[in-house]
Structure 1
Amino acid sequence: MYQALYRKWRPRTFDDVVGQSHITDTLKQQVAGDRLSHAYLFTGTRGTGKTTCAKILARAVNCHNPQNGNPCNQCPACLGIENGSILDVLELDAASNNGVDQVRALRDEAVYTPAAVRKRVYIVDEVHMLSTPAFNALLKILEEPPSHLMFILATTELHKVPATIKSRCQQFSFKRILPGQIAQRLDYVARQEGIDLTADGAALLARLADGGLRDALSLLDQCSGGRQRVDEREILDTLGLAGNLETAGLMEQIALHDTAAALETLSRLYANGKDVGSVLSELSSLARDLLLRKTAPQGSAALLTGGYDEATMRNLGEQFSARRLLQILSLLQQATADLARSSNRRTDAELCLIRLCNEELDESLSGLSARIARLEERLAQGVSVQAAAPPAPPASGSAPARRTSAAVKAAPPPPS
C-alpha cells in the first residue's frame, strides 16, 4: 500500500529534523542529562516539526538505549511506542477532544504509573482548541504532576493558550524552515524515491511551501504522480500556477498601463487552466519583492521570496515608484481576500487588473497617492500638465436667447 511521502519520511531522531537545531540540540541535552521538564509547549506554523519532535521526545525519554539524546528506535519501548502498541504514550487531538469531560478522564488516568515504560506521555495537538473549563481541568494536573507524567502540548495559535498554562511549560518556538534547507531535503527524498527532481523544481516547491517541510513533501508527492521527471514547468501545470515569466510579463504590462494586453494575458492563462486567485497571489508576491527592494535596498535581500533574476527585478523596479507599488499591493491583497466570497472570480480578477493598469479608476487613498506620485514624476521630467478650463457660461445677450425671446413675443395669445 502506497504511503504519502510526508509520512514515509517523517524524522525518527532529533538529528533528522530539518531547520530546528535550536530546539533539537536543547532537547537532546535534556534527555542525555536527565533534566526533563514535566510539560513542554511547542509553538509554530504548520509543517515545521512540532508533532514530529513530540513523538521523538516521547520515545527518547522511554528508550532503553538512548544515543546522545536520540532514541535508538530498536528497543521494545521505541518500537512499541512507534507502532502504537504501548498505550502509556497517547496522542490526543484537542480539536475533537476539547471538552472538560475528556480532560477530566485524562487527569484521572494520569495518576496511575505506566505499565510498560518509564514515563507516561500525553501529546496534545492543537491544544488551543480546548474549552475554558477543559483548560482549567488541565491546569490542576500541570500544577502538581506525578513524577512519571509528561505533557507535550502543540499549537499553531499561541495567543489562544492561557497564560496560566504557558507559565507551567517549557516553551519552544519552531521557526519557518528556510527555502534552501527545504530544497536540500526535497532533493534527498527525490533521489531515494527515484524521482528526477530538477534544481529549479526543488527551488519552486521550497518557495511554495512557505516554510513548512510537510507542505513541500505533499506538493512533491502531488507533482510527481506517475512522472519520472519533475521540473518547474510540470509543477506549474500541475498546481495551476502562472510561472515567473508570465507574472513578470503581466507586471510589465501594468507598468506600461496596457490594459488590453493585461486582460489578454489573464484570459490566456485562464483558458490554460490557471487559477485566477493564484495569478493574483503571484503578482502580489512580485509586488512585495519590488516594494522591499525599493524601500529597503540594503537589507531586503534576505526578505525576498526569490525566483526572479536580478535583471528582471531591476528593470521592473525602475518602472514603479514606492507609492505606486504600495497601491498595487493594496489592491492585490484586497482582491485576493474578496475572491473567496466572489460569485464570479474571473470578473473580479479582471476588474482588479483594470484598476491596476489605470490608477484613475482606483478611488482609494493609495490610488490617489499613486496618481499624485505619477503627476510629480511628469512635472519633474519637464512635462507640462494643463488643467482643463471650465466651459464659459453662455452670454446673456446671445443670439439663441434673443431668438427665443422674439419667438415668445411673436407667439399668438392663447384662445379665451
Structure 2
Amino acid sequence: MRLPSHPLVRHRVRLAIPGAVILTFLAQPAAAAGNPQTAVHNAQQNLQSAQQNAQNALRNAEKAQNQAGSQDRALATAQAQLAAVAAQLAALEQRIAALDATIASDTATVAQLNEQLASDRAHLAAYVRHTYENGGSVAALVYVISARDIPTAIQRKEAVDHVANAAQMLVNRIHSETALAQKTLEADNAARAQLSIVQQQERTTQALVAVQEEQVASVDAAAHQAANQAQSQLAAAKSQLTAAQKELAAKEAALAAARARGIIYSPVPGVDFTVDTDLTRPSGETVDRLNNFLQGTNMAGLGGSFMQAEHAYHVNARYFVAHAILESDWGSSAIAQDKHNLFGFGADDANPYGDAKSFPSFDACVQYVAQFIQVNYLSPNGRYYHGPTLRGMNVDYASDPNWADKIASIARTIP
C-alpha cells in the first residue's frame, strides 16, 4: 500500500504469490491500455533493458578493443618474426654467394690442376720415351760403368739418379695433383648440393613468410572491423538508452498529470471479475463459500469477517479476499502471523516489518482496512479516489503497475 500522507501507512509491501495463483495470473489477458501507472512501469522496463543493452554493448566494445590490441601486438610480434626471417634469408643469400664464390674458385683451381697435370704427364711421357729410346735402365748402367775412372762414374751415377729422382718426383706430383683435383671436385659437388638445399630453404621460407603476412593482416583487419562494429553497437545502445530515458520522463510526467487531473476509471459491467469491476457492489459470495475456499490455509475461517466488511463498508468481499491473499501470501507472511496484518498495512520499503501496523486479530485487521479503503479509495470524495475499481486504486495505492491485474487474477479463482 502506498499512502504517503496517512500517518500509519507509507508504502505497501509486495509479498510472494503462490505458484498456482501466478500461473492463473499469467493466463489472464493484460490490463486495458490507458493506465499511466502501467505506462511508467513499461517505460522503466524499457529503460532497464536499454541500460542492459548499453552495458552489454560497452563490454563488447571493450572486448573487441582488447582483441584488436591483442592482434596489434600479435602483428608486431609477427612483424618482428618476419624481420628475423628476412635476416635469415639475407644470411642464406650471403651463404649462397659465398658458396658460389667457392664453387667458382674450386672450378678455377681444378682447371689449373688439369693444366698442370697435362703438362706433367707430357713431361713424364717424354722422359719415358727418351729413356726407352736410349735403352732404358740398361743403357743407364752401361753409361755409368763405361766411365774412365771412378770419379767420372760417380758423377754419371749421380746424374742418372738425379734424372730418376726427377722422374719419380714428377710421378708423385702427378698423383698428388690428381688427388687434389679429385678432392676439389668432390668439395665443389658438395658445395653445389648444399647450394641447392639452401636455395630450397630460401624458397620455402619466402613462401611461409608470404602466408604468415597474409594471415596476420587478415586477422588484424578482422579484429579492427569487430572493434568498429562494437563501437557502432555501443553508439546505438547509448542512443536507445537516451530514448528510453526520455520515454520514462514523458510517462512519469503523464502519470503526474493524470494524478493532478484526478483521472477517473469508471467501472465496466461484466460477468468476469476484472480490473474494471465495481468494488462497491456486492460480490454475491457467502460465508460458507469463502470458508470453503480458504480452508486449509492460514486464513481459514475468515469468510465471515470478509462478508461483514462487505455489508458494513460496501467493499466487495471477493476483491478483499484476493487483496489479503496477495499481500500476506495466504496469511503466512511474518507480518500476518506476528501482527495479524493481512494487508501489509503501514509497512514501507525501508522497514516493512517494523513499520507494519499490529492488530489484535485478523478480523480487526479486515474491518479496519476495509473502512480505510472505502473512505479513501472507493468513495467519490476520497483523497485517492480514481474510480471504484482496481484500475483506479492502482493509480495511488500500489507502486506495482500490475498490482490490479494480480488481484483480479486471484479473485477470478474464487468460486
Band of TM-score, shorter chain:
under 0.3
- TM-score normalised according to structure 1 size: 0.20
- TM-score normalised according to structure 2 size: 0.20
Higher strand share: 1
| Largest Rg, 1 or 2 | 2
> Which of the pair has the greater relative contact order for Cα pairs under 8 Å at 6+ separation?
2
Higher helix share: 2
